[in-house]
Amino acid sequence: MIRRIPQARERGIPDATVARLPLYLRALNGLAERGTATVSSEDLALAAGVNSAKLRKDLSHLGSYGTRGVGYDVQYLIYQISRELGLTQDWAVAIVGVGNLGRALANYGGFVSRGFRVAGLLDADPAVVGDHIAGLTVEHSDGLEAVIRKRGVSIVVIATPATAAQQVCDRVIAAGVTSILNFAPVVLTVPDGVDVRKVDLSIELQILAFHEQRKVSGGPMMAEDWAGEAG
Amino acid sequence: MIRRIPQARERGIPDATVARLPLYLRALNGLAERGTATVSSEDLALAAGVNSAKLRKDLSHLGSYGTRGVGYDVQYLIYQISRELGLTQDWAVAIVGVGNLGRALANYGGFVSRGFRVAGLLDADPAVVGDHIAGLTVEHSDGLEAVIRKRGVSIVVIATPATAAQQVCDRVIAAGVTSILNFAPVVLTVPDGVDVRKVDLSIELQILAFHEQRKVSGGPMMAEDWAGEAG
DNA sequence: GTGCCTTTGTGAAGCCATGCACAAAGTCGA
DNA sequence: TCGACTTTGTGCATGGCTTCACAAAGGCAC
């Protein structure tokens, strides 16, 4: 019901590969800034923090953009990955929910530099409406549908409280949006064809806590102390 | 070099399962708030947005906590998952970098409610030091090591600009921290035994853009237009 | 031109995760 | 106490992802 993305494999690019392309892109941009003209899969893999064989296989899904014996042309590869990810076009993004997180996102430079343009900031709280953030004026979320339609918004970021998220989600889908990035800690229910990705800050922290617990407590003597407690 | 977490499988809990446990926990808390006493794997899976067979297999890695013919006791399962994730203890977290994102994280309720306590806010910018956020006073990052040691910080959140992240990372590791949550858009290099998880807001957006592009542009006539361009 | 050297692109193998389908196990009503 | 019903826990098969290892391919020196 969520995360049904069979489109990714239509031309044979695995989801796992797509998820890493932004990583490569970032590493390549870093190399380009330092004036590097070409890079080997080994070096690029190191910069991106992945295995070099995996990198080569990932890139091979896009085409044969490398030169044997030399490596990859940095600028050319940047262009190819950008185009594959659809970053050569301009995406209008609306952010719904202008709390702390929404503000952080509106000011986040990583969006603008990657072809994303914040085209609207919306909130249901009258106390927030009218605020000026990152060059935009916060509008009331009553006008959500109008903003989406008039400004060609195709991606919506939900940064509302959990209770409001599903309602906002339903409205933006009704307005024609099919790509949603959800920061609210709820499972959104969406129809087929709508793509939802979620970021939950506390989940990552909980995963860290799991591993941290394993480290400090050694390992044994932990699986047994539940016995006889309630079961 | 990054993400080497073999500990997860030491007692046989797959990483994929660990990553979903917080999801189940959240769904269970929702059920508990509504007064539900027991829940079947089918219903819980629905609430968590996963397949019910997967849910059962995941839970089976923790033990046999269900009752056949009935389901799972909500409160008991909450306790077991919490304990498995290490959330029954109190984790002191320090947030380094108090920009927009750092502020958002400091105010994020999802941390406190899950056994995480923000024990320190640090920033290198004198203009920010002294600010009061979420009941804490921002301290200068010169005192990073002291804060970590004195307050028993075991998890550090890096929300600094990309350029400062690796330096902060090195310092907290030197101070004994082995769990890091990184929001800066860089690949952190860490020694073995240190666990880094990263959240990159723009990566998720780029993945969305990829799928969105596929939807609108149809599909054909996109793989060929690079030919003869530079290769 | 020729041969060596570097690096890509990919076949193949192994591993992990997913999901089906069902036996085992426990509840509940009579 | 018994039988029918519900739901868990899991063996198994399938598919995708990762990694190794190497042949193919191209540059570069001479």
**CA at B12, C1' at C14: how many angstroms apart?**
19
Share of chain B above pLDDT 90, in %: 82
User: A60: Cβ under 7 Å from strand C?
Assistant: yes
pLDDT in tens, B176-226: 999 999 999 999 999 999 999 999 989 999 999 999 999 866 433 333 333
Q: Which two structure tokens, joined as six digits, stand for B151?
A: 């307050």
At which of A85, A112, A137 does a domain end?
A85
> Do A44 and A100 share a structural domain?
no
Residues A124 and A41 in one domain: no
What 8-state DSSP symbol labels residue B195?
E
Distance from CA of residue B199 to its chain's centroid? 8
Task: Indicate if B72 and B104 belong to the same structural domain.
Answer: no
Residue B230 sits at φ, ψ, to 5 deg, of -150, -15
Q: How many domains does chain A have?
A: 2
Better pLDDT: A75 or B1: A75
Residue burial A9-29, b: 16+ Cβ < 10 Å; e: rest: eeeebebebbbbbbbbbbbbb
A107, A198: one domain: yes
**Residue A16, CB, less than 7 Å from strand D?**
yes
Q: Which of B84, B107, B131 is the last residue of a domain?
A: B84
- Residue range of the domain that includes B55: 6-84
Q: What's the one-letter identity of residue A188?
A: L
DSSP B51-112: -HHHHHHHHHTT---EETTTEEEHHHHHHHHHHHHTTTSPEEEEEE--SHHHHHHHH-HHHH
Is A197's CB within 8 Å of B207's CB? Answer: yes
Parallel/antiparallel/unpaired status of strands B71-73 and B66-67? antiparallel
Asked whether residue A53 is domain-assigned, the answer is: yes
- Reading the block at residue A161, the tokens are 């409280």
The CATH code of the domain that includes A31 is 1.10.10.10
The pLDDT of residue A111:
80
Decide if pLDDT at B126 tops 70.
Answer: yes
Residue A26 and residue A109 in one domain: no
pLDDT of residue A12: 79
Residues 70-89 of A with CB under 7 A from strand C: 70-72
> With contacts defined as CB-CB under 8 Å, which chain A residues touch B178?
212, 215
Spell out, as residue ranges, where chain A has pLDDT lower than 50. 1-10, 218-231
**Domain for residue B63, yes or no?**
yes
Strand D: list positions under 7 Å from protein Cβ. Answer: 5-11, 16-21, 24-28
| Chain A residues lying within 8 Å of B42, measured CB to CB | none
| pLDDT reported for residue B56 | 98
| Bridge partners, A121 (sequence order) | A95
Chain Cα centroid distance, residue B230: 41
CA-atom Rg of chain A in angstroms: 22
Encode burial over A202-214: b for 16+ CB neighbours within 10 A, e otherwise: bbbbbbbbbbbbb
Mutation target to probe the B interface, by most B beta carbons within 10 A, among A100, A153, A169 is: A100
pLDDT of res. A10 = 41
- The answer to whether residue A208 is domain-embedded is no
Q: Do residues A138 and A122 touch, judged by C-beta distance below 8 A?
A: yes
Give the residue nearest to nucleotide C18 (CA to C1'): B54
Predicted confidence band at B162 (pLDDT cuts at 50, 70, 90)? very high
Contact, B14 CB vs strand C, < 7 Å: yes
Using the beta-carbon criterion (under 8 Å), do A11 and B223 form an inter-chain contact? Answer: yes
* Structure confidence at residue A112 (pLDDT): 76
Q: What is the pLDDT of residues B47-92, one digit of tens each?
A: 999 999 999 999 999 999 999 999 999 999 999 999 999 999 999 9
CA atoms within 13 A on the CB side of A213: 24
Identity of the amino acid at B78: I
* Average pLDDT of chain A to the nearest whole number: 89
Specify whether B112 is located in the same domain as B178: yes
Q: Which pLDDT score is estimated for A128?
A: 97
* pLDDT value for A55: 98
What CATH number is attached to the domain comprising B139?
Answer: 3.40.50.720
Q: Region B149-176: what's the mean pLDDT?
A: 97
A122 shares a domain with A150 = yes
Instruction: Please indicate whether, in this complex, the C-beta atoms of A214 and B84 are within 8 angstroms of each other.
Output: no
Going by C-beta distance under 8 Å and a sequence separation of 6 or more, which residues neighbour residue B2? A49, B187, B188, B189, B190, B196
Judging contacts by C-beta atoms under 8 Å, the chain A residues touching residue B8 are: 210-211, 214
- Residue range B129-159, pLDDT digits in tens: 999 999 999 999 999 999 999 999 999 999 9
Q: Are residues A139 and A35 in the same domain?
A: no
Evaluated on CA atoms A62, A64, A67, A73, the torsion sign reads negative
Q: Residue B229: is its pLDDT beyond 70?
A: no
B145 and B187 together in one domain: yes
B185 and B102 part of one domain:
yes
Do A98 and A80 share a structural domain? Answer: no
Q: Which residue is nearest to nucleotide D17 (CA to C1')?
A: A16
Binding residues of A for NAD(+): 97-102
Within chain B, residue ranges assigned H as helices are: 15-33, 41-48, 52-60, 74-85, 100-107, 109-112, 144-150, 162-174, 201-216
